[in-house]
């Protein structure tokens, strides 16, 4: 099945600015992810859901579900959703979105391992792992999670893997170079643990093979990163987690300064920041 490129109009993040009240770093970055950055991947989520016909009858497990936007979109289509994430602060936001009074029924959100996410009477029939892969340590951890998740599904269930597209079609590649350079990576990850950039065009297929999954089609999706201003762009990008190694090695003020400088080529006349990107997804099947 040949890849397809899907283009979507991205919601503008004009209301998100950097004059909000300060908050502790972890809490602030979690909120920045949910309010600024997470929406940039909506075209990826929607393209995969359209491809699979997500709706009533779908029992979906989201690996690395974060603050739950992808799960919320699936629930809005009628799917029963469950999510797992190691970041309790992001998971708390997911709970706010998905399990308020009157929220979607049959929703389960857990931190840590997959044991607590095991389905009840019916097995899952879709698993998603939308976070881009590339670093060896990330791939090893995700392989183990995918293998475990496959054991909770019906045979032949769909597993969606997400990743960055070709470097030459992702404007953000150059900006993430700041993270790699400031972190002074040791070489244990092809893209540097700071950047998480894929090392090759077949990364998703290799990951599927390692997890014992059978590839069954792929696609490419335009996911531009658009921000109201450079300050919002800095906040959004820092919230991704791709700059954590840089922030550990360098003062936050220096990371922010160099990141803002790297964003200059993408700032438009009206002050907004726009970086075209192409993301890729792979549909695989459990055996």
| pLDDT tens-digit series, residues 203-235 | 899 999 999 999 999 999 999 999 999 999 999
pLDDT at position 200 is 56
**Is the per-residue pLDDT at 285 higher than 80?**
yes
Q: So what's the pLDDT on residue 3?
A: 46
pLDDT at 87: 87
State mean pLDDT over 184-193: 47
Q: What is the CATH number of the domain that holds 165?
A: 3.40.50.150
Q: What is the pLDDT of residue 26?
A: 73
Beta carbons of 93 and 68 less than 8 angstroms apart: yes
Question: Would you report the helix, strand and coil content of the chain in percent, each value rounded to 5?
Answer: 40, 20, 40
pLDDT at 141: 84
* Mean per-residue pLDDT, 109-119: 73
Q: What is the pLDDT of residue 7?
A: 42
| Mean pLDDT, residues 61-76 | 95
Q: Please classify residue 53 by burial: count the beta carbons closer than 10 Å to its beta carbon, then call 0-12 exposed, 13-18 middle and 19+ buried.
A: exposed
Which of 7-21, 125-139, 163-177, 211-225 has the lowest average pLDDT? 7-21
Number of domains in the chain: 1
Q: Residue 41 — very low, low, confident or very high, per pLDDT cuts 50/70/90? A: very high
- pTM of the model as a whole: 0.85
Domain carrying residue 30? 5-285
What was the pLDDT predicted at 27? 84
Which of 6-20, 69-83, 137-151, 185-199 is predicted most confidently?
A: 69-83
Could you tell me which residues come within 8 angstroms of residue 197 by beta carbon, excluding any fewer than 6 positions away? Answer: 134, 164, 167, 173, 176, 190, 191
- As a whole-number percent, the residues of the chain with pLDDT over 90 amount to 63
Residue whose pair of structure tokens reads 């922010």 in the numeric block:
256
Strands 278-285 and 153-164: antiparallel
At 24 the pLDDT is 53
b or e along 79-97 (b: 16 or more beta carbons within 10 Å of the residue's beta carbon)? bbbbbbbebebbbbbbeeb
Q: For residue 206, what pLDDT is reported?
A: 92
Phi, psi of 279 (to 5 degrees): -105, 165
Query: Residue 108: its pLDDT value, please?
Result: 76
- Residue 104 has a pLDDT of 55
CB count in 10 Å sphere of residue 119: 17
Integer Cα distance of 93 and 82 in angstroms: 14
- pLDDT at residue 192, as a whole number: 40
Model pLDDT, residue 2: 42
């Amino acid at each position: 099945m040949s890849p397809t490129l899907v283009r979507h109009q991205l919601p503008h993040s004009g209301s998100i600015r950097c004059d909000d009240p300060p908050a502790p770093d972890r809490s602030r970055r979690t909120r920045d992810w949910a309010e600024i950055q997470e929406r940039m991947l909506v075209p990826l989520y929607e393209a995969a859901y359209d491809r699979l016909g997500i709706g009533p009858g779908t029992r979906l497990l989201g690996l690395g579900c974060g603050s739950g936007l992808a799960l919320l979109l699936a629930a809005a289509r009628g799917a029963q959703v469950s999510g797992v994430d190691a970041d309790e602060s992001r998971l708390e936001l997911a709970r706010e979105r998905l399990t308020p009074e009157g929220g979607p029924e049959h929703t389960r959100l857990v931190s840590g391992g997959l044991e607590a996410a095991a389905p009840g009477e019916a097995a899952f029939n879709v698993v998603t792992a939308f976070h881009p892969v590339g670093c060896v340590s990330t791939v090893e951890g995700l392989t183990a999670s995918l293998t475990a998740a496959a054991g909770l599904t019906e045979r032949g269930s769909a597993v969606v893997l997400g990743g960055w597209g070709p470097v030459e079609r992702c404007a953000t590649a150059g900006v993430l170079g700041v993270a790699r350079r400031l972190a002074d990576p040791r070489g244990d990850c092809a893209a540097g643990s700071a950047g998480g950039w894929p090392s090759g065009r077949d990364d998703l297929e290799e990951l599927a093979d390692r997890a014992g999954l059978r590839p069954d089609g792929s696609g490419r999706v335009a996911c531009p990163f658009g921000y109201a201003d450079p300050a919002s762009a800095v906040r959004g990008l820092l919230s991704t987690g791709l700059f954590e190694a840089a922030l550990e090695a360098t003062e936050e003020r220096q990371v922010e300064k160099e990141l803002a400088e790297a964003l200059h080529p993408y700032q438009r006349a009206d002050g907004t920041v726009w970086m075209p990107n192409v993301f890729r997804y792979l549909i695989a099947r459990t055996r």
